[in-house]
Amino acid sequence: MAIAGIDLGTTNSLIALWTDSGPELVANALGDTLTPSAVSIAEDGAVLVGRAAADRLVTHPDRSVASFKRWMGSAAGARLAGRFYRAEELSALVLRSLKDDAEARTGGAIGEAVISVPAYFSDPQRKATLDAARLAGIAVERLVNEPTAAALAHGLDSVEEGRFLILDLGGGTFDVSLLHKFEGVMEVRASAGDSHLGGDDFRDAVVALIARRHGVDPDKLAPTDLARLMREAERVKHTLSAQNGAAYEIALAGETRSGEVGRTEFEEAAQPLLRRLRTPIERAVADARVDPQAIDQVVLVGGATRMPMVRALAARLFGRFPLAHPRPDHVVALGAAAQAGLKARHAALADVVMTDVCPFTLGVSVRDPSAPDQRTMSPLIERNAIVPISRSGRYYTTADNQAAIVIEVFQGENLRPAQNIKIGELRMPVPLAPAGREGVEVRFTYDVNGALEVEVVGETSGQRERRVFRNEANLSTEELDKRFLALAEIKAPPRDQAENRALIARAERLYAESLGAQREHIKRLLSEFEIALADQQLRDASTLRDRFAADLDGFERNWPTL
Amino acid sequence: MSPWDVLGVGPTTDVRAILRAYAERLRTTRPEDDPVGFQRLVEARAFALAWRPAPAAEDGEQADANHGDAPPEAGRDAAAQDATPGSGARPPPRWRAPASTPSPPDRHDRAPPRWRAPVATPVGPELNEAPPRDDPRAATSDGGRLAAFSARLADIAAATDARFRDLAAWRAVLDLADALSLAERETARGELAALLAGRLPEPEREAARHDPDLLALVDRLDQDFDLARVANDAKRLPELSRRARLADWLAACASERAMAKRRAGGRDAYRLPNGLPLIPPEDRQPALARADLIAIYEARASGRKLDLLRAWRSAWAAALLPGLISAARDAPLLALAVLSLEATAFIVAIAAGSQFSDSGANALARFEAAAALAILIVARLAAMSLWPFFAVRRASARVRRADRAGYSTPAGRRPILSRQLNAHPFFGVLAVLAIFVDLMGGVSALTIFLAAFDLAK
């Protein structure tokens, strides 16, 4: 039975296996380790996941969806080809594709698996992730916070002990974690992050830059035009990491626009984003009560840290050069695999103990006559407390002959409960008595998975109630079983066809992005390929495929000057 | 079982020994297997790291002395989840003398920074070339950046109010701050706090809330320096602690804006596809309170009774000088009402007096004198009985105003609540007027009444 770690990301997902020699990434059917977190329903009803689906976002926006991780834990979803898919189901399709890749690699089933989730994920969002794994037919018992996974991967890599600050700037989120490694113990001292700051925001800065230059309003563009503009901006952003300028050419509303974006120009446009990067860093360092000078090493992970300005910011803040991880996109998946290895008590990790923190404050709302809405937060578990942790507090009635005490559980840092996220509530009846005479003891227990159990005990009655909260938006068990069966019916195309599908989707996308003679050229290439596929046995398709891929490569390399 | 028993090490201040013991115990007390034992271990370590031997102890960095007889410095720190060695006690605000205060020595077994990265590669020095040469960040040296920031900040501090609001100047300063390191930023934040503390005069604040320039500056300041922390720093400046604080106001303003933003963000994130909110708005009052809040609650509930009792006890004072007492008791409207009643009584009494003839008072004069006395008595009774209600209403209006201004914590509100009317310059005028009218009204109405009914004889 293989042990796997899965990084279910906003833009890309990865799976890594824990082997005797350490974590090892698994490539998908296309030979890439990164599988875009996108799902598309083909015209024949087959489900496309990954690169093919991401390409179809441009050509078939009504049948394709991406970035659905943001909906986890809510009832939101997308309607694709006439069927409504919840975020759990879409994630399950991605997970299933990853699982198929891993099983194709090992030839056996996946046993233990750990999925990474953003540190700020609340209880319902974590449960939605577990539900997605269940829908995909993967037994997941353990979730790991993404910054923790990154820290673990780095901590295992490095031989030195000390304090490491790990900055993880991914596609959609920014996470900071402070790892203290001593005597074989890996202790996460603090996690902080910005859940709406990532490489995508830098891309949007380029989009805004280009749109402003040509007097276009990105909000008013047709979906296909916007998708094309975003792809072009993404390419410009990548080019600017290596060069001082990047040329672009793009057809918007039937008109070809071209120009060049300079690096300084891009950096000025991204200045507000860089400022937002600083806040979580300062918070993590302050929460861990560590002097900035006492941090031994600053480590950059996440694809977006390839941008020179992010590296320069880290260098400036700490007055020294940060370490750039050689595989910034892979770190979280490698760490998740290591966590899976830890959980399975793999021999290679026998000496390692990992401790994590709860990245947010958990508390109950209490009556406070001086507050505007008469209630304030009473925190029980403070953020960045080491987990597992159990804390209790006593609460009393505030009115004479009060019949019951309602415990409302909140997650968040704000003094006002209304500004925090409500997790759930419990009602405990108490005997009638003057105000302040009757009370309850409330105990919060937060476990290593990030699940919160609330126990309430009546002081005089001794009555006891225990609750693990589920959001109403989470799926019920019966609903899960039903959807599992429904999903099992949806067929993914056979693995050996995945590559053909991806090539066809890519050609369709190139067709959509180009005009005139170029379109004719692509159309000819594509129909030649499709005719050949129909004629040939699949076994012989690989040479055809290689030729077609080479053609497309050549086309894209010369783009847009062909 | 003492924390030291849990750790399996004697009382010591040697951080290394504590961490080694902790790591050893951790192997048998894994968080997944024994959550209770693990929590005990974590708390024991927090206690051990915060523990200091009794005063006479030698003050050595590596003092490994086992002060077995020294009582641990109470368990107050045991609750603290984790204390950092070396920086458990925060250094004093460092902006006072940035150069002279060395950063606290690190007790931890930190290896000298001879980092060998097995896999990771250091970001090359080519980054130095990343910013263009004419960029001030690249041109100035390390210490120079902070000095440049301080100098520009001092310029602004010395400026007139109009310059103080000059957004471009602020932007230039904050751009300089972008290039600071974390440690330097702490100093910079302190300097900013010292500047902002007490900068704007009181009356200007409300108007300033609607000044778009200033609000843009607030946003930028908050983004760069986290105004809540700036305000916190400003509170630590003793010489300014009693003065009006711009920093406080700015922080409140920023948190209000941030709250509105978060609220909007939260609404978007938790919305169903049909546009309905996922989490229904709360319309029910929460019905519980912490023990410590109950004390406040009760004091407040019984506070009204206390005021009434005090009102009765000092009723004789209100009977003598009703206007003055109402004014002093934070009920200016009542004071004005009482004073106008007394003034009326005075005028009526004079009118009655003017109709006296040699033969004594006629019927009209007697009626007017009686009316003047009645008005006087009504005014005094009103002052005696009504002022607590006026005062309470005024206090709650202050609470609401404090809320709007963002002073949400009881501690933040206290200065506003305790600011009595008698601190107002208007109070002096009112007090003099009140004494005059109280005495004149009372004496005249009474003498005329006595004269009109020949009671003086």
Domain check: are B252 and B375 in the same one? no
In this predicted structure, what is the pLDDT of residue B103?
38
How large is the average pLDDT for residues B133-161? 64
pLDDT score, position A344: 85
* B334 and B428 fall within a common domain: yes
Q: ipTM of the assembly?
A: 0.79
Answer whether A65's CB lies under 8 Å from A72's CB. no
- Select the residue from A370, A397, A444 to test the B interface by mutation, using most B Cβ atoms within 10 A: A370
Q: Which of A121, A182, A295 to mutate to test the interface with B (most CBs of B within 10 A)?
A: A182
For residue A90, name the pLDDT band (cuts at 50, 70, 90).
very high
Whether pLDDT at A199 is above 80: yes
Query: Of B94 and A36, which is predicted with more confidence?
Result: A36
Q: How confident is the model at residue A524 (pLDDT cuts 50, 70, 90)?
A: confident
What's the pLDDT at B131?
A: 38
Q: pLDDT confidence of B288, banded at 50, 70, 90?
A: very low
When pLDDT is averaged across residues A322-330 and rounded to a whole number, the result is 87
How many cross-chain Cβ pairs, A to B, lie less than 8 Å apart? Answer: 267
Domain finish residue from B77, B92, B121? B77
With 80 as the cut, is the pLDDT of residue B71 above it? no
Please state, in angstroms and rounded to a whole number, the distance separating the CA atoms of residues A55 and A14: 18
> Is there a domain that residue B358 lies in?
yes
What ranges make up the beta strands (E) of B11-158? 121-122
Let me know whether B348 and B306 are in one domain: yes
Number of domains making up chain B: 3
Residue at B83 is within a domain: no
CB burial of A550-559 (b: ≥16 within 10 Å; e: otherwise) equals ebbeebeeee
Q: What is the mean pLDDT of chain A?
A: 84
Contact A446, A358 (CB under 8 A): yes
The dihedral built from the CA positions of residue B195, B200, B206 and B209, taken in this order, carries a sign that is negative
B30 lies in a domain?
yes
Confidence of residue A35 (pLDDT cuts 50, 70, 90): very high
Both B302 and B444 in one domain: the answer is yes
pLDDT at B185 over 90: no
Contacts of B223 in chain A (CB under 8 A): 272, 275-276, 279
Strand, helix or coil at A443?
Answer: strand
B271 secondary structure, DSSP code: B
Q: What is the pLDDT of residues A253-301, one digit of tens each?
A: 778 888 999 999 999 999 889 988 988 898 888 888 888 888 998 999 8
Task: Kindly state whether residues B265 and B311 are assigned to the same domain.
Answer: no
> Which has more confidence, A244 or A550?
A244
Least confident of A482-491, B133-142, B394-403, B446-455: B133-142
* Residue A551 pLDDT level (bands cut at 50, 70, 90): confident
Specify which of A327-336, B142-151, B210-219, B438-447 reaches the highest per-range mean pLDDT. Answer: A327-336
For domain A360-459, give the fold.
Substrate Binding Domain Of DNAk; Chain A, domain 1 (2.60.34)
The per-residue pLDDT for range A66-75, each reduced to its tens digit, is 888 878 887 7
pLDDT at B269: 37
pLDDT at A193: 85
Read off the pLDDT of each residue in A418-446 and give the average, rounded to a whole number: 85
| Among the partner residues B104, B182, B288, nearest to A285 by beta-carbon distance | B182
Task: Name the residue facing B31 among A264, A445, A448 (closest C-beta).
Answer: A448
Tell me: the pLDDT tens digits for A148-190? 899 899 888 887 888 999 999 988 889 999 999 998 898 999 9
Overall average pLDDT of the A31-41 stretch: 90
Residue B12 has pLDDT above 70, yes or no: yes
In a domain, B7, yes or no: yes
Predicted local confidence at residue B329, as pLDDT? 61
Contact B35 A447 (CB under 8 A): yes
Q: Would you call B87 and A448 a contact, using CB atoms and an 8 Å cutoff? A: no
Residues 6 or more apart in contact with residue B291 via CB below 8 angstroms = A394, A395, A396, A439
Please check whether residue B160 lies inside any domain of the structure.
yes
For Cα atoms A179, A184, A187, give the angle at the middle one, nearest 5 degrees: 25
Q: How confident is the model at residue B424 (pLDDT cuts 50, 70, 90)?
A: low
Burial bucket for residue A155 (CB in 10 Å: 0-12, 13-18, 19+) = buried
Q: What is the pLDDT, as a whole number, of residue A237? A: 93
Q: What is the pLDDT of residue A106?
A: 87
Domain with B409 in it: 291-452
B404: left (phi over 0), alpha (psi -120 to 50) or beta: alpha
When scoring A196, A291, A323 by the number of chain B Cβ atoms within 10 A, the one with the most, hence best to mutate, is A291
Task: For residue B118, give the nearest of A159, A369, A418 by CB distance.
Answer: A159
Architecture in CATH of A199-269: Alpha-Beta Complex (3.90)
- CB-closest option in A318, A325, A396 to B120: A325
Collect all residues with Cβ–Cβ distance below 8 Å to A279 and sequence separation of at least 6.
A194, B223, B226
Q: Which of A88, A123, A168, A187 is catalytic?
A: A168
User: Given this model, what pLDDT does residue A438 score?
Assistant: 86
Question: What are A474-500's pLDDT values in tens digits?
Answer: 677 777 777 777 777 766 666 667 777
Same domain, residue pair B33 and B166: no
Q: Which tens digits make up the pLDDT trace of A383-403?
A: 888 988 888 888 888 887 888
Contact flag B288-A343 (C-beta cutoff 8 Å): no
**Pair B236, B364 in one domain:** no
Nearest CA of chain B to the CA of A499: how many Å? 32
Same domain assignment for residues B396 and B302: yes
Q: Provide the pLDDT for residue B249.
A: 59
Statement to judge: residues B162 and B263 lie in one domain: yes
B262 and B300 in a single domain? The answer is no
The encoded tokens of residue A199 equal 């490489």
E-assigned strands of A230-296?
Answer: 245-252, 255-262
Residue where a domain stops, chosen among B34, B57, B77: B77
| B380 and B343 within one domain | yes
Name the residue facing B19 among A182, A290, A372 (closest C-beta). Answer: A182
Q: A2-161+329-350 maps to which CATH number?
A: 3.30.420.40
The shortest C-alpha distance from A322 to chain B (Å) reads 6
Q: Is residue B123 part of a domain?
A: no
Residue B133 belongs to some domain of the structure: no
Nearest-CA distance B320 → chain A (Å) = 36
Same domain? B311 vs B234: no
The more confident residue out of A335 and B169 is A335
Q: How far apart are CA A179 and CA A182, in angstroms?
A: 10
One-letter amino acid identity for A100?
Answer: D
Active site residue A69: yes
Active site residue A368: no
Q: Mark residue A511 as left, alpha or beta (left: phi above 0; alpha: psi -120 to 50; beta: remaining).
A: alpha
Full DSSP string of B286-344: P--EEHHHHHHHHHHHHHHHHHHHHHHHTHHHHHHSHHHHHHHTT-HHHHHHHHHHHHH
Q: How far is B76 from chain A (nearest CA, A)?
A: 16
Rounded to an integer, the average pLDDT of A33-62 is 87
| Distance (Å, whole) CA B451 – CA A353 | 99
pLDDT for B59 equals 44
Give the gap in angstroms from C-alpha A20 to the nearest C-alpha of chain B.
Answer: 18
Q: Which residues of A touch B273 (CB under 8 A)?
A: 75-77
